[in-house]
Amino acid sequence: SGSQTEYSNYFGFTEAEVWKLLQDAGLGEYADSIRNWYNGYQFGKSSIYCPWDVLNYVRALQNDPSAKPDNYWRNRSHNGIIRSFIERTDLAVHDKFERLLSGECIQEQILEDMTYDTIHSSEANLWSILYLTGYLTQSKSEEGKTYLKIPNEEIKTVFADTVASWFTDEVGRMDRKPLFDAFWNGNDKEATRLITDILFDTISYFDYREDYYHAFLTGLFTGAGYAVESNHEYGLGKPDLVVWDRKIVELS
């Protein structure tokens, strides 16, 4: 159990062990980066690093000192349990999920004696399995309640990638023809209304930043077969997006 203190130092690398490894490898300047990306798993009173991630990144740095931290969970885990959360319609679940992605904690009761066939039978079971499989870790615990959080940057990218995959699937199922018709007919009010509807259905899982809106609009058109040019210069201006209908051929 992750909440027990006995043997808590043996579930992964401790801070001291990682520091010694980095010193021996001549990579001490990467300690903060490795801590942000691969530390944060709380076992008892110990904060533990994932050995698989640390060793992979150290090897990458030895081959290329400019290597950036990577998501080494990408090819070794199935993220269906996270997807099941995203697809739930419960407002409470959505709110908690968004708080986690924002770096906050949520308070839940952890059930450690569930069986596989009961995982989806309750919300408590779902949070528990995310905790027991390492997607969430405890921030603190008191009176039978555990405060959960995403442990590090690597797992945050797992959550974000899963959300992005869900978003792509959702957009692919939408009837975008009314939106495209509004664009090509110059009906800016209708286009604004339709885009707003799509954003309200999907964007709450993402940061409200300009780069996301940019990627959002690019994906809407690219996924429908249109040619999209991003941030190209045209004359004296530089539009964010230029969309071309591949089906239209102009003859001169």
Query: Is the separation of the CB atoms in 166 and 81 below 8 Å?
Result: no
- The closest of 27, 53, 30 to 154, measured between CA atoms, is 53
Q: What is the pLDDT of residue 210?
A: 59
Q: What is the pLDDT of residue 14?
A: 93
Q: What is the pLDDT of residue 205?
A: 56
**More confident: 236 or 179:** 179
Q: What is the pLDDT of residue 240?
A: 74
CA distance 186 to 176: 16
* Percentage of residues of the chain with pLDDT beyond 90: 30
What mean pLDDT is predicted for residues 66-76? 83
Going by C-beta distance under 8 Å and a sequence separation of 6 or more, which residues neighbour residue 34? 18, 22, 49, 54, 57, 69
What mean pLDDT is predicted for residues 151-161? 87
**More confident: 7 or 230:** 230
**More confident: 221 or 149:** 149
- Per-residue pLDDT tens digits for 198-210: 877 665 555 555 5
**C-alpha separations of 180 from 198, 210, 224 in Å:** 13, 22, 10
What mean pLDDT is predicted for residues 148-157? 92
* Burial of residue 92 (number of CB atoms within 10 Å: 0-12, 13-18, 19+): exposed
pLDDT band of 188, cuts 50, 70, 90: very high
* Cα diameter, the chain: 79
What mean pLDDT is predicted for residues 117-125? 76
On the question of pLDDT at 94 being above 50, the answer is: yes
pLDDT band of 66, cuts 50, 70, 90: very high
Most confident of 71-85, 125-139, 233-247: 125-139
Query: Is the separation of the CB atoms in 159 and 150 below 8 Å?
Result: yes
Q: Of the given ranges (30-39, 142-151, 180-189), which has the lowest mean pLDDT?
A: 142-151
Query: What is the DSSP code (8-state) at residue 13?
Result: B
pLDDT band of 252, cuts 50, 70, 90: very low
* The pair of three-digit structure tokens given for residue 20, joined into one six-digit string: 């010694």
On the question of pLDDT at 9 being above 70, the answer is: no
Q: How many CA atoms lie within 13 A of 208 on its CB side?
A: 4
